[in-house]
Structure 1
């Protein structure tokens, strides 16, 4: 399948977990894919992922860029490298996946917790997207996918800050769909994953010391990164060109 052949995509936080799954799904469908990562400890994983992207989409179809989304200059630096790598000004797909989480009860949370999560999940996402926007405007079919969370509306224990950041993402998704759709033909969607087995998910629960919440759902299992990736792969195709401004719940029927 090559429904995205010739497209250029950026996936923030694309080296691990859901982001990695999305990067591979896009490459499987023919896209050239740039992924970002933050820590030096991810360099080997990033190199391995680029090799996989090249195998799926063709030689020189992948690039991994070390960038901290909390740095408001990161978007400009990433865009410059992407344009140099792929030899075109336009970016067709932006997947805002990078994020962080820390679960704390109201009585235990700190200002540092607030600044960290809003700094990456909301402020970083907004200004990264702003930096990439000129390139998205040059695409004939620009797509923005914002990774949110079921915590935005589930009342999950300990998610005062994290859930609020994701609710913010759901809101700005609708605003951008109106602003960018009418003027530039860019569609904007949010994807709310349910509980997905990733390193971040597991570590966040362990660090919080809070009990693992029950996950009653229609599906009899927790999600895998591929479950989310396949939905994103569908939402960025031409078949979804009239679908915008929505929050898509991918959660096995939990919420």
Structure 2
């Protein structure tokens, strides 16, 4: 299947969990994929992922870039490396997946918790997208997918800050759909995963000491990264060109 053949995609936080699943899904559909990661401990995983992308798409079709979107200069640096690697100015798909979470009750919140999560999940996302926008504008079918969370609307215990950052993402998704759709033909969507088994999810809950969210009502299981990746793969295709400004809940029926 090659519905994304010739497309260039960037997936932030793309080496682990949902981001890794999305990167592989895009590659399976023919896209060249750049992923970002932060920690030195992810370098081996990043190299392994690039090899998988090259096997799926062809030689020199993947690149992993160490970058922290909390650094507002990271977007420009990433874009320069992507353009050099793939030899073209255009970026067709941006997946804003990088994020962080820390669950804590209101009475235990600190200013540091707030600044960290809003700095990455909202401020970092906004300015990274701004940096990539000139390349997206050159695409005839630009796609932006923002990874949000069911915590934006579920009232999840301990998600005062995390849920607020994701609600912000849902809001800016609608704003960008209007701004960028009318002027440049770029579609913008948010994907709200339900509880998905990832390293970040498990670590955040373990540190918080709060209970694991219940299984979705319809699926009777927690999600896997592939459940989210397959939906994202559909949303970035040409067939979704009139679908924009929406928040897509992918949660196994967690009503």
Q: Same fold (TM over 0.5)?
A: yes
Deviations 1:140-163 (A, max 9, x none): 000000000000000000000000
Q: Deviations over 1:11-66 (max 9, x none)?
A: 00000000000000000000000000000000000000000000011110000000
**Superposition deviation, residue 215 in structure 1:** 2.4
Contact 2:216 2:251 in 1 (8 A): no
Name the SS of the counterpart of 1:157 in structure 2: coil
Distance across 2 between alignment mates of 1:118 and 1:63: 27
User: Deviation string for 1:152-188 (max 9, x for gaps)?
Assistant: 0000000000000000000000000000000000000
State the SS of the aligned residue for 1:253.
coil
Q: 2:143, 2:236 within 8 Å by CA — same for their partners in 1?
A: yes
Structure 1 stretches lacking a partner, 5+ long: none
The unaligned stretches of length 5 or more in structure 2 are: none
Aligned length: 255
Partner residue, 2:148:
148
Question: Which moves more between the two structures, 71-80 or 207-216?
Answer: 207-216
1:89 aligns with 89
Listed one character per residue, the Cα deviations across residues 185-239 of structure 1 (whole Å, up to 9, x for unaligned) are 0000000000100000000000001122322420121100000000000000000
- Whether the 8 Å CA contact 2:216–2:252 is kept in 1: the answer is no
Cα deviation 1:39-95 (Å, max 9, x = unaligned): 000000000000000001111000000000000000000000000000000000000
User: How many angstroms apart in 2 are the aligned matches of 1:121 and 1:215?
Assistant: 25
Instruction: Determine the structure 2 residue equivalent to 1:169.
Output: 169
Mapped contact 2:72–2:127 kept (Cα < 8 A): yes
Aligned-residue CA RMSD (Å): 0.5
CA distance in 2, matches of 1:237, 1:81: 24
Ranges of 4+ aligned residues in structure 1 off by more than 4 Å: none
**CA shift at 1:242, angstroms?**
0.2
